[in-house]
Amino acid sequence: MTKELEGTVALVTGASSGIGAATARKLAREGASVALIARRGDRLEKVVRSIVDEGGTARAVVADITTRAGADAAVEQVVAAFGRLDVLVNNAGAMLIGPFADAPEGEWERMVEVNVLGLLYMSKAALPHLIEAAGAEPRRTSDLVNISSSAGRVARPGTAVYNLTKFGVNGFTEALRQELQAARVRVSVIEPGNVDTELASHTREELRPGVEAQVAAIEKLQPEDIADAVAYIVTRKRRVAVNEVFVRAADQSW
């Protein structure tokens, strides 16, 4: 039985853990050759081995995508290795929670670097290859999927700069969707709610108890839940474009 992504190549950023790792595994199961990008090479290699052990094809690319040179080099390495690029999943993200007035400026800068600049650099580097793939077999379409957040829909105290970046991702995604529609590059955004990943652990130690208390009663989403949403988007027939998926934990009210 032919898999939906057989003969295609997918690239996932932030793929050393959490949503990125789960997405890479899921797309490999759908038949894609998968390139995994992150800064932690040892963690990447573990995910790659898990994919290969299941019979998939995967490659680790250690890169810092918050620079234009790093993103360009990463994409070129993937295309040189696999010959094409059909799917880009911009998953890499930083979430550093805390009141704006007290937050170190380095936290703002990190979120803007990863959530905005990294996504822009990767999108820019990948676009020529996605456009080329959209005109070719096996699918005659390609996909760019941005992982945003429920924080791109709902603003809350303590997440002001994170909200800024994720609201921006949502707006960028919609504008880019319209720009690339005629080229058959489908541009989509997924907005996960509370997911059980290490992202929240990056918050300053003194703020973590308060953050954890806010979500203590919520049965969190699992990374695989978001990976399923990515796979649903990119395995649709050419005539179908799923532009936006908002996935909250069932217990989450905001």
Catalytic residue of the set 5, 27, 94, 162: 162
Q: Print the SS3 string covering the chain.
A: CCCCCCCCEEEEECCCCHHHHHHHHHHHHCCCEEEEEECCHHHHHHHHHHHHHCCCEEEEEECCCCCHHHHHHHHHHHHHHHCCCCEEEECCCCCCCCCHHHCCHHHHHHHHHHHHHHHHHHHHHHHHHHHHHHCCCCCCCEEEEEECCHHHCCCCCCCHHHHHHHHHHHHHHHHHHHHHHHHCEEEEEEEECCECCCHHHHCCHHHHHHHHHHHCCCCCECHHHHHHHHHHHHCCCCCCCCCEEEECCCCCCC
Which tokens go with 119?
């996504």
Q: Is 232 designated active site? A: no
Q: What distance in Å separates the CA atoms of residue 94 and residue 239, rounded to the nearest whole number?
A: 34
Residues acting as catalytic residues: 162
